[in-house]
Amino acid sequence: MTSYNAHLAHDADFAGWRAHVRHCLAGAVSPEDVIWSITAPNDLFSQSASRSLPTGASPFRIPREQARLLSGAFLADVPDRFRQLHRFVETLAHDSHALHVPSEVTRDVHSMAEAAWSAGLDLRTAFSAAIRRGETMLSWPSHLSAIGQRHALGSLCAASWAVTTPRFDLACDGGEITIGGAGAHNDYWSGLPSVTHPPTLSELHELQSLDVLRAMAPDCHACDLWRPATRTVFGEGPTEAALMFVGEQPGDQEDLAGRPFVGPAGAVFDSALQDVGLERSACYVTNAVKHFRFTQRGARRIHARPDTGNIQACAPWLAAERRLVRPRVLVMLGATAARAVLGRDVTIARERSRPHRLSEDTQGIVTTHPSYLLRLPDDATRIRETERFKDDLRLARSLMSK
């Protein structure tokens, strides 16, 4: 049969590859008869560009899990991956058992996807560590990994950042992510795949690095809160902090900024820490639930208390943070945090202001959430309860030295 020439705009051109594969499936063109090549157009990095791709509707629809596997494998640094992945799609289209029975083709695709994820996790981890050091620019050897992790990097850092690669730079101004300066209306960069990996419980239990744990957090889909939220809000602070604070969940401003306790309650928290002689930079600060749960009312997002399912879904993440930080004292800010840590319902008034032995190495203290102080109706009550909150912080400070 006559060969079929398939031209891609760049080596991450998933939309182009998919269009050619659909055309081949519709026309019964074998993967062995396709000649794949990359021909970069002159307007590849223009602000706007349009393109013409082959049409041809294939009657076959790839199942969701295989589609995720395919998009991950597409960004593996394997020279013949376009042909190998075409074979994979053709196998799925013509052999219904291929979804369940491993073959050489499916094993190769799994290997490619695993390699792409491993490379992507390395980038996420390095990026996470750089952001923690206050650096917003990272040089990275693989442009394919950078493309596959662009959304995860945006989740890990809400501010402006850049990743430079030998081929081109990825940059984010706090909102839109650009590749090589190409504009949002450049069709050559539409439909790019992402490499994700929802972590398993065993992976969370075995991790030995807080940076790796943080790097994996954007892919957590254990509950539905990730869908409406802007990003995962992970904990921050020294990896061996003696004092750890656990709040309820991120609020509206935390969800946008990607950091815990930066809204109004965070201002109360920071002020109280300063008044009792504690430095926030020396503490590890996190939340029991890592996504913002809210109710939409017009343009406003109104806080909604996380439910039991949300707390349980995030429990392995909080457990991993505690295991890796190993604080001497853990302060539970509010009933949700206390429930997440102690594993039972807690009445703050009954259990606050006294030590709770959490483990051989860690003592816990239950106190109010700083947002409670903002809701008090009068100045006298607010002053009194703020002093009680500070007394609990002083108790935490004293326990650190025992």
Q: What pLDDT is attached to residue 306?
A: 97
Residue range 128-132: mean pLDDT, rounded: 92
Average pLDDT over residues 221-245: 96
Residue 99 has a pLDDT of: 57
**Tokens for 35?**
């000649």
pLDDT score, position 98: 57
Give the whole-angstrom CA distance, residue 52 versus residue 110.
Answer: 31
Between 57 and 47, the more confident residue is: 47
Strands 300-303, 294-297: pairing kind: antiparallel
Beta strands at 284-287 and 300-303: parallel, antiparallel or unpaired: unpaired
* 302 beta partners: 295
Residues 229-256 have a mean pLDDT of 97
Convert the pLDDT of each residue in 266-289 to its tens digit. Answer: 999 999 999 999 999 999 999 999
Q: How far apart (Å, rounded) are the C-alpha atoms in residues 75 and 109?
A: 11
| Cα atoms in the 13 Å half-sphere on the side-chain side of 312 | 4
The confidence band for 28, taking pLDDT boundaries of 50, 70 and 90, is confident
SS3 state at 261: coil
Which own/partner pairs from 359-365 qualify as long-range (CB within 8 Å, at least 24 positions apart)? 361/326, 361/328, 362/322, 362/326, 362/327, 362/328, 362/329, 362/330, 363/328, 363/329, 363/330, 363/399, 364/329, 364/330, 364/331, 364/332, 365/329, 365/330, 365/331, 365/332, 365/392, 365/395, 365/396, 365/399
Mean pLDDT value across residues 77-92: 94
**Could you tell me how far CA 48 lies from the centroid of its own chain?**
29
**Range 99-109 average pLDDT:** 75
**Residue 382 burial by Cβ neighbours in a 10 Å radius (0-12, 13-18, 19+):** middle
Mean pLDDT of 35-55: 95
User: Any idea what the Cα angle at residue 85 is, between residues 111 and 124, rounded to 5°?
Assistant: 50
Collapsed DSSP state (helix, strand, coil) of residue 141: coil
DSSP-derived secondary structure for 71-132: HHHHTS--TTHHHHHHHHHHHHHH-GGGGTS--HHHHHHHHHHHHHHHHHHHHHHHHHHHHH
Q: What is the mean pLDDT of residues 260-268?
A: 97
Q: Cite the residue boundaries of each domain of the chain with CATH code 3.40.470.10.
A: 201-400
Residue 344 structure tokens:
């039972």
Give which of 363, 385, 360 is closest to 374, Cα–Cα. 385
Helix (H) / strand (E) element for 186: namely strand 185-186
Angle at 174 between CA 170 and CA 178, to 5 degrees: 25
Give the least confident one: 80-84, 182-186, 394-398. 182-186
| Among the listed residues 288, 316, 279, the one whose alpha carbon sits nearest the alpha carbon of residue 400 | 279
Span 181-205, pLDDT tens digits: 999 899 999 999 999 999 999 999 9
- Output b/e per residue, 40-54; b: 16+ Cβ within 10 A: eeebbbeeebeeebe
Residue 104 banded pLDDT, cuts 50, 70, 90: confident
Condensed to tens digits (0 to 9), the pLDDT of residues 333-365 reads 999 999 999 999 999 999 999 999 999 999 999
Is the separation of the CB atoms in 75 and 147 below 8 Å? yes
- pLDDT at position 100 over 70: no
Nearest to 192 by CA among 6, 18, 57: 18
Q: Which of 315, 317, 287, 293 is nearest to 306 (CA)?
A: 293
Q: Hey, what CATH class is 201-400 in?
A: alpha beta
Write down the mean pLDDT value for the chain. Answer: 94
Please say if the pLDDT value at position 1 is more than 70: no
Span of 1-5, 322-326, 394-398 with lowest mean pLDDT = 1-5
| DSSP letter (8 states) at residue 219 | G
What is the C-alpha to C-alpha distance for residues 364 and 362, in angstroms, rounded to an integer? 7
User: Would you call 122 exposed, middle or buried from its count of C-beta atoms within 10 A (0-12, 13-18, 19+)?
Assistant: middle
Q: Residue 62's pLDDT band (boundaries 50, 70, 90)?
A: confident
329-333 vs 363-367, strand pairing mode: parallel
| Nearest-angstrom CA–CA distance, 320 and 235 | 11
